Structure 1
Amino acid sequence: MPSLTPLHETYCKWDHSPPSQADLLEGLAQLFSTRLGSVVQDLIQVMQREMLLSIFGVSTKKSKQIQDTAYINTVYQLTYGALQKYGSELIAPSLRQIINIFPDLHDKPLTPSLNFLVGVLNGILGDYLLKEHNPLALPMVLYDHYGAIQQGGLNGRVVIFAHGLCMNHHDWTHSSYAGIGEKLLSQRDNNTMLYLNYNSGRRISANGRSLSKALQDLVERNPRITSIDLIGHSMGGLVIRSALFYGKQNMQQWFHMVENLVCLASPHHGAVLERFGFALQEKFGNLPVIKLISHIVNIRSNGILDLRHGSVRDDDWEHNDARIGLVDDNRKPAPLPSHINTYFAAGSVELVINKKRNLPLKIIGDYLVSIKSALGEHPNPRFQLKLPESHKAIFYGLNHFNIQYHPNVAEQIVQWFYPSQEDLKQEQMNKYLIKLESLQGIVET
């Protein structure tokens, strides 16, 4: 009997509401009872082949012949069949039985712990979940400052936060710190804090387009909104930049209402560890262990792949099918909108400022994103995201994950959003100098 597709399962979620606890159980049941594409099969075959090549010294041609023999195929099918049978006939029915026994799970939202689980699954398998219509695939939703889905009218200044890969809308606060949103609310400037939750396994440019549409819908439903500030952490900063790119391209109203953009530890020119893994694979790919690891690492979402170089446009990836090996940086420029005050913040594992800091620490940055990448600095002028030095900040002693809620970062954002008269004068001078520098460049050309 052929394996069931999600359309044949107990139910399939088609609306755009966040998953409930029942959706979580059903989504897990579907993962256990349907094939993860060809991922598991391919991985088993790769492991078999590497054992034949590396341990037994069999040639590539001979290993293929052995794997194609009827006996090996039978063993393989029995092994994989047993795994499928165990998942579809035991685990999946058990999960669905829980839903039947407790029907109120359909009305129960995910707890913070379950949101964490679903966020991680979306970061790793989000594109697969979406393709298979799995109810675990997260829709793009805006939440208010108190964790409820945004409803009702909005007016005045709106601040929107976008989380990073495998994270969720709860990650902007910490048990020890109130967070950036609370700090901004204390300014009493008619602020509204909204927190985006989205499927971080999708293409960054796909999420950027979705965010652009969501923001356009928001301002159309709330004509009393006067301005928008955008704050993104890690991948969230790239999603916002993508939304700005497509918002401008499509001449949408919300684009012209944005006053400030803050990117916290966003890999504008790629994440170090993503490229490092591909470089290792390219250099040492003939080692059996590295080969196995490379195939396992290759089981990851398109969103993660976009972090390799910080891709924010569709045409950065749509003609590039390569998923393994060290792929060249084929990005197209995505300049920052000139009318927006843009600020970049980077974290560093170093505890103090060190002008002579060694290269490894400089590259590591906050463990995941280098300082230069987070500050938009690039040796190629086409990709440079030029900002005044007053619009950049490095936070020493902060890693990639605590930079998004630390009080020092919150204080810096308040200073950026609410500058003193002296800061405003300096800002005008900086803009004048940048304009003068551009004119000099034109004259020299």
Structure 2
Amino acid sequence: MPNPKPLDTIHDLFASPKRESDASSDSSTHFQGDVYEQLAQLEYIYVDKTVRLMSDDNRDTILGKPISIVDFFEGLAQLATMGVVEVTDIVEAIHREIILRPLGRFNEKNLTKWQRGITGRIYGTVRNVMFLVGNNLASGLHLYNNMRNQKHTQPLPKNLKRLVNILNGVMGDHLINHDNPLAVSMVLYNRRCHLQHDELSGRIIILCHGLCMSHLSWYPSESDSLGARIIHSRPTSTVLYLNYNTGRRISINGHDFSKVLQDLVDNNPDISQIDLVGHSMGGLVARSALFYGKQQGFNWMKRVGNLVTLGSPHHGASLERIGNFVQDRIAKLPFAGSLAKLGDLRSAGIIDLRYGSIRDADWQALEGRSVLPAEFRHPTRLPLHVRAYFVAATLVEAHYDSKATSLLGDGLVTIESALGEHAGEHTLSVPEGHKAIFYGVSHYKLLYNDRVQQQVVAWLLCNGRSDAGYGDYEFGPRIHSYPNNLEVTI
């Protein structure tokens, strides 16, 4: 795809490319009225540059090598350039409003004069200089990286890997749209944190991390991690760890994950069963992969036995809805509307968490980087042959059957959302015995809480058999788990 056009405003910096059908439209459209209100009316949709929005059979998949230390510094150089340009655009937008709006001159004619005037040219010069310096530095590092012997490429240390995944969670789609080498590829790791290249057979359990996290968040090398406990209970099984860019659209990650699983089965035909365990956003990506795997007719779907989600916002996360509400209110304040565009920094993946959107149809036809309202999103039912188990948590340490307890949830996701409970067609029909609520556990601690791990291992060992010695979960009651030693959870 062609390189992005020169950027003139913060909105241009983070706006998605226009659809091909709009390519013939006038590219020199002027601002009319409020700058950002008019820009928001431009017809474009978010397009992930790594995925062509064609038919489902012709999608490209972001798969590649891990990020090297040279990629890291090259990406930082580009990111620094983007940051300075962003701040410059915000300052100029506020400056423009403060000067022109009180005089009643905040209109197309005077905005055009501003751009051609001395002040507008100064801001333009700052932008152009930063692009020149930043692009030259990034190009030099890229050239150096290509000239080096790839055998001597230095991988990122674990701490920098975690930082890169946080950056991808916050603005991963922007990194992709600007060809930034910090954009994380979707890959599978084994328990030794090496790329998966081994021959596989038997039962495979894949752990999918959440927003701003990485495969390292599961602590694969620790003896008390979930992966280690699964291997201890089933030594013949193999645990793999998915690493992906959590800033991309959940549905696009779902498409890619489905393709990854199909490639895994094609290369390892002796795989007998696949189980998916997802924390937070990872559970939504797994559900999206199941949806598109079935839609595309991939045969890996036939081997899926269990889906376990830990604190996944199946019907949305309250924090993203609050953030979107605040951004909308700020945008309506005089002189502060430009600051509202700081909210555009958050990635499309975070925006999808607003209502738990896991299908392309929930965002593809919309203008800008948004999602359909909760009542209009498309239902995504679970495959009938897959046994689904949902885990929810609450910070409250005792059982209080109240609306406040449910809304508090684990601090990020409500109990109803994590358990897939919703009115009408959006409810996920999971048996009561397949739902568990853990008291005194926060969203992040779901990853390594001892009680949670024991329950997940028990479900996987049961594997749908009532004679496995772990009870009949299918027709049993909902599970409530309380801390043995009550402590104050902050």
Does the aligned pair in 2 maintain the 1:172–1:179 contact within 8 Å?
Answer: yes
- Equivalents in 1 of 2:79, 2:460: separation in Å? 45
Does the aligned pair in 1 maintain the 2:207–2:276 contact within 8 Å?
Answer: yes
Superposed, which structure 2 residues align to 1:25-424 within 5 Å? Answer: 25-32=73-80, 39=86, 42-52=89-99, 60-61=106-107, 64=111, 67-68=114-115, 70-84=117-131, 87-88=134-135, 92=138, 107-173=153-219, 178-283=224-329, 285-288=331-334, 291-323=337-369, 327=373, 329-356=375-402, 359=404, 361-379=405-423, 381-419=424-462, 421=467
Deviation at 1:100, TM superposition (A): 10
Does the aligned pair in 1 maintain the 2:115–2:121 contact within 8 Å?
Answer: no
- Equivalents in 2 of 1:423, 1:235: separation in Å? 31
Does the aligned pair in 1 maintain the 2:432–2:474 contact within 8 Å?
Answer: no
TM-score (norm 2): 0.75
1:275 is paired with a residue of what secondary structure?
helix
TM-score (norm 1): 0.82
Does the aligned pair in 2 maintain the 1:235–1:266 contact within 8 Å?
Answer: yes
- Equivalents in 1 of 2:130, 2:77: separation in Å? 14
Deviation at 1:228, TM superposition (A): 0.8
Does the aligned pair in 2 maintain the 1:351–1:396 contact within 8 Å?
Answer: yes
Give the structure 1 partner of residue 46 of structure 2: none
Change (3 A) 1:370 1:324: same
Which 5+ residue runs of structure 2 have no aligned equivalent? 7-61, 478-490
Change (3 A) 1:327 1:285: farther
Larger helix proportion of the pair: 1
Change (3 A) 1:171 1:93: same
Deviation string, structure 1 residues 41-90 (Cα, Å, up to 9, x no partner):
64344332454478x6766439747744502212312333454455456x
For the aligned residue pairs, the C-alpha RMSD in angstroms reads: 3.5
Deviation at 1:309, TM superposition (A): 1.0
Which 5+ residue runs of structure 1 have no aligned equivalent? 6-13, 432-445
Deviation at 1:422, TM superposition (A): 7.9
Does the aligned pair in 1 maintain the 2:311–2:392 contact within 8 Å?
Answer: yes
- Equivalents in 2 of 1:289, 1:186: separation in Å? 60
Percent identity for Structure 1 against Structure 2: 41
- Equivalents in 2 of 1:105, 1:51: separation in Å? 55
- Equivalents in 1 of 2:260, 2:341: separation in Å? 36
Deviation at 1:427, TM superposition (A): 4.0
- Equivalents in 1 of 2:362, 2:135: separation in Å? 39
Give the structure 2 partner of residue 442 of structure 1: none
- Equivalents in 2 of 1:58, 1:106: separation in Å? 62
1:418 is paired with a residue of what secondary structure?
helix
- Equivalents in 1 of 2:147, 2:154: separation in Å? 14
> How many residue pairs were aligned?
416
